[in-house]
Chain A
Amino acid sequence: DQQVKQNSPSLSVQEGRISILNCDYTNSMFDYFLWYKKYPAEGPTFLISISSIKDKNEDGRFTVFLNKSAKHLSLHIVPSQPGDSAVYFCAGDTGSKLTFGTGTRLQVTL
């Protein structure tokens, strides 16, 4: 049972445009959602999180939106930069366990 799903394996966006990465979940016990970014040959690094009681969290160019009724969250990157090219993982946290999605590879082109 895949509790966290990222249905788009890859996404290509032009530099300066908005990148929107999507994530769906099935587990209602998640009380936090996190986004991690991963460059090749490196471990994932924390990017941004959102509590299940909020619907939006913003940090600079990164904004995460949560729609609890739809069990859907999205990460917006505005404006996208070439250095944002990486694999992005969505994760749900029950407070005792983090469950990751399969990731979306973002390519920001010049």
Chain B
Amino acid sequence: EAGVAQSPRYKIIEKRQSVAFWCNPISGHATLYWYQQILGQGPKLLIQFQNNGVVDDSQLPKDRFSAERLKGVDSTLKIQPAKLEDSAVYLCASSLVLSDTGELFFGEGSRLTVL
């Protein structure tokens, strides 16, 4: 079974530029998450999708971050314009709708460096 795919793995941009990350979840997983992990911290949820719909985006900085999930499968996370403090690893995860344990399956992450 293929895992969660993310691209690009690494991205370096200057502040005020824009960047987009792509995620393809595990087939059949209805729920998709974007997490931000800043160095030395735990992953922080940015947005959660259930199929096409947004379940939770309370911690998404909506003035600069946007995300969409096309046809309930792939998702993109965009940052425009980027700030220095956006330097982090952006992790995409997916899960079944009903899970005994709440287990999430993570991709390898996209590391963003903002100069």
Instruction: List chain A positions with a Cβ less than 8 A from chain B.
Output: 4, 6, 9, 32, 34, 36, 41-46, 49, 89, 91, 93, 95-103
Contact = CB atoms under 8 A, between A and B. Distances in A.
Contacts of B93: 43
Contacts of B104: 46, 98
A32 B101 contact: yes
Interface residues of B, number: 22
Nearest to A101: B42
A96 B55 CA distance: 9
A62 to B, nearest CB: 14
20 contacts: A6-B42, A41-B109, A43-B107, A44-B43, A44-B106, A46-B101, A46-B103, A46-B105, A49-B102, A49-B103, A91-B42, A95-B102, A96-B55, A98-B33, A98-B102, A98-B104, A100-B43, A100-B44, A102-B41, A102-B42
Given A96-B56, A102-B40, A103-B42, A34 B108 contact: no
Contacts of B108: 41-43
Nearest to A92: B102
Contact of B101 (A9, A34, A43, A96): A34
Interface of B: 4, 33, 40-45, 48, 55-56, 91, 93, 101-109
Nearest to B45: A97
Given A32-B101, A96-B56, A45 B44 contact: no
Contacts of A46: 101, 103-105
A98 B44 CA distance: 9
Given A43-B108, A103-B41, 14 more contacts: A6-B42, A9-B40, A34-B101, A42-B109, A43-B106, A46-B105, A49-B102, A93-B102, A95-B102, A98-B45, A98-B104, A99-B45, A102-B42, A103-B42
